[in-house]
Structure 1
Amino acid sequence: MVSISVCLTLPFCQLVTAHSEPRGNLDSTSYKHNSESSPKQSRLVWTDQAYGKASTPQQDTQTKLLKQIKELSSRIEQLDADVKELKIELHNQAPRKQQLSSSASPIILSPSVRKTKAETNSSESSLVISPKIVKEPPLSDMQLWVNELRNHDLAMPVKGTQAESIKGSFYEVRSSGRHEAVDIPAPRGTPVLAVEGGSIARLFTSKAGGLTIYQRDPTKRYIYYYAHLDRYADNLREGDSVKKQQIIGFVDSTGNAPANYPHLHFSISRMPDEASIFHGVPIDPYEVFKKDSQQLSRPKHLFQKRE
C-alpha cells in the first residue's frame, strides 16, 4: 500500500514515493517519514530542486485558462444585451401585470400617416428595447445633458418629419416598464437618417427591436438607438463613420412592433464611459428635439416597479 502526502507549496517540493532513501539534498527544513518503522511508507521531501525548472503541466493549464477568461471577459458587454432580451421574452410569457398609464400622452401623427383604433391599441402594447438603463439620475444632471444635446442641433431621424409631428412618450408605461424613447410613425421604407455625425457602434438584430443600429456621437458619450428597421443602408458596417442626415436605414415594423404600424423607435442614452454601448442613462429625445428653454420635470407616476 502506497500512501500519498500533499505538498502545499508545489513549486518548492517534490512528492517522492519509493522504497529506498529519497534522492536529493536535505537541509534543516527537510521532512520525511520514519522509514525504519514503515519501510514501505511514502516520503515527503522538501527540496530546492524545483528552482530553475520549466513550467509544469499544471502551470501551462493555468495559463491557458487565464487566457480563456480574458477572451470571455471581452464579450461580457455584448452578451449583456442578449441576456436582457431573454429576460424580456420570459416576461412576455407571463400574464401582464402592468396596465397602461391613463395619463399617457397620445402619439400625434404626421399628416401623411393615419392609424385606426385597432392599430393604436396594438401599438400601445408594443414592447421595444433600448440600451440598458441605470438608476434614475438627478434632474439637474438630466437638464445638463438635454441642454448639451440641444447644442448638438440634432436632425430628425426620419426623413420628412418635424419635431412638431411627434409627442413625448418617454414616460409611457409599456409591458416591460417605461418606454424611454419616442416612436416616429412613417410609411414603410421611409429613410432613417443619422441625427448627427459620429460612428456606427453596433448593428444588432433582436426579437424586440428587430433590426437595430447603435450610433455613437462625436464625443463618444451618447448612444443613439434606431429600432424596427426594414434594412440597413447599402454597405453600412460597424465602425463606419457617418455624417449628419446620412441615410443609415429604412423604416419598418420588425421585431415585436405591430405589422400594421411601421415606425422608428428612437432613443438616446448617456454612457458612463467612451467604450460603453449599454448601461447608459436614458434621455428623453422629445425634450431634445423641441429645443425650448423650459425646465425639465418628471411625472408624479414616474417611480413604478420595473422589471
Structure 2
Amino acid sequence: MTAREQILDLKNRVNQSIIGQDEIVTRILIGLLTDGNVLLEGLPGLAKTRAVKSLARNLDSKLSRIQFTPDLLPSDVTGTEVYQPQADEKFVFQPGPIFANLILADEINRAPAKVQSALLEAMEERQVSVAGKTHKMEPLFMVLATQNPIEQEGTYPLPEAQLDRFVMKIEIDYPDHDAEVQIIRLVREEASSPPESPTPIPQQAVFDARQEINAVQVRDAAEKYIVDLVTATRYPDRFSPDLAKWISVGASPRGSIALDKCARAVAWLDGRDFVTPDDVRFILHDVLRHRLILSYEANVAGMTADKTIDELLKAVAVA
C-alpha cells in the first residue's frame, strides 16, 4: 500500500469509532501529517479523548495520557532527576509521561499556566531540559490537548505563547440526531462484543506521507492568498473597517507557516499535488481561530473568532 492509502485506511478506522465526526478526524490527521500539535475544544462527553485513543490504537505508536489538574507539577509532565544510591550514588533521569509518541493532554486548561508552560519546549523544540540536560523526544511526537470552553468552572485560559504552538484549534460540537443514534448502537455493540484490533498502521507511513506533502506545490496565487489572509489580521484597516474594529492582535508568521503546511496536507489527502484556494479556505478557521485576539468592541458585538474569520474571507480576494 502507498503512504496515502495507509493514511486513508487509518482515517477510516478512526471514523468507525468516532461516529459523525469525519471532519474532526480529518483535521486530527492533518495535524499528524504536518508534524504539528492540535488543540481540541468542546464540552465534556463529545468524544475528544476517544478520538485520540482511537488514533493511537490504529497507529503503531505509544500513547501517554496526562490528566491536567490544579495540583499538577511541571515535573509530573517532563520527569525529574531521581537520586539512586544503588547506582554509584548518582542522580538518574526518570522520564515523565511526555516521552511517548502521542501525548493526550486531557483538560489542559484545568492546570495553572506554570504547568501548561512545561509543554512549550517539548511542543516546539521536541526536547525537554531537566537539571541542565537535554532529552530528545521520539521522531513521531504529537501533543493532542483537549480543553473545555473557558466559561466552564475551574478552567484557566492558555497563555498566548502556548496557543501559538498548536498548528490548529479544532472545535467539536454536538452530533446530529442520526449520528447520536449510531453512537448509542456502537457503544452497545462494543459492550457486548469488543471490536478486534487490526494490525496498526506503521509509523513509516506517516513519515513517507510527510515527505510527499513537502513536495506538494503551492503556486504563486495560492501562496499570495495565504499571506494576504494573515496580513489582513495584522493590518485589518487596509481591508475592512469592521475588521479593524474587531481584531486587536493578528496572527504571527507561525500562522502563515501553519496555513501553508495544512493546505498542502488537505491537497495531498484529496489526491492532488498542488494547493488551491479552496484548500486554504477549508482549513483557515482551524489554523487562525486561536491566533486572533479580539477587541472589546468585538466581544460587545458578539463577534467570535470564527465569525471574524468569515468576514476576513469576504474582505480578502483571491489574486
TM-score higher than 0.5 here? no
State the structure with more CA Rg.
Answer: 1
Compute the TM-score of the two structures, normalised by the length of structure 2. Answer: 0.23
Higher relative contact order (Cα pairs below 8 Å, separated by 6+ residues): 2
Higher helix share: 2
> Structure 1-normalised TM-score?
0.24
